[in-house]
Amino acid sequence: MSEHHMLRRVAAAQATLDEFRGEPFRWGHSDCSRLVAAHLRRLGYKVRLPAKGSYGTARAAMKQLRGRGFATLADALDGMGLERIPPAAALVGDIVQGASGDAFGALGVLLDNGRLVGYHEHADGAAVLQQVDLAAAWRVEVSR
């Protein structure tokens, strides 16, 4: 990976952190899928999400996801053509998934030094979190 691409990944991850840090979790407005989508768009991906505010509960979000032909958020990322990688191989700017209290799994964007930006039930809003027990990761390419 070139230095230029790594700098773009770092800048995109920082911009995503700046946009979402402290933003309270709210289905359909500021949730992990919107956080990840904003990050991917910064790196040139076209991401299609339901209109902002079109779902306001976990149940409605799952209905939207299934209506697009995906059983999980992981399936949706796979459907975008993102390459699954071992979580230990993830670099700054890659997408990671950990456990959550719902069927979605918690998505976040890897930062540096074992940290990620994402939502957690014990944080007031999106926050810098320590990565623990990641279940999956996806490589995010810059040249899109």
Residue range 27-85, pLDDT digits in tens: 999 999 999 999 999 999 999 888 888 999 999 999 999 999 999 999 999 999 999 99
Each residue of 82-135: pLDDT tens digit? Answer: 999 999 999 999 999 987 777 788 899 999 988 999 998 888 899 999 988 899
Q: What is the Rg, in whole angstroms, of the alpha carbon atoms belonging to the chain?
A: 14
Q: Can you say how many angstroms the Cα of residue 128 is from the centroid of all Cα atoms in its chain?
A: 13
Integer Cα distance of 17 and 36 in angstroms: 11
The full length of the chain comes to 144
DSSP state of 23: P
Beta bridge partners of 107: 97
From 126, 140, 132, select the one nearest 23 (Cα to Cα): 126
pTM, entire model: 0.92
User: Is 88:82 a contact under the CB 8 Å cutoff?
Assistant: no
Q: Among all chains, which residue has been given the structure tokens 């700098």?
A: 7
CA atoms within 13 A on the CB side of 141: 8
User: Is 109:11 a contact under the CB 8 Å cutoff?
Assistant: no
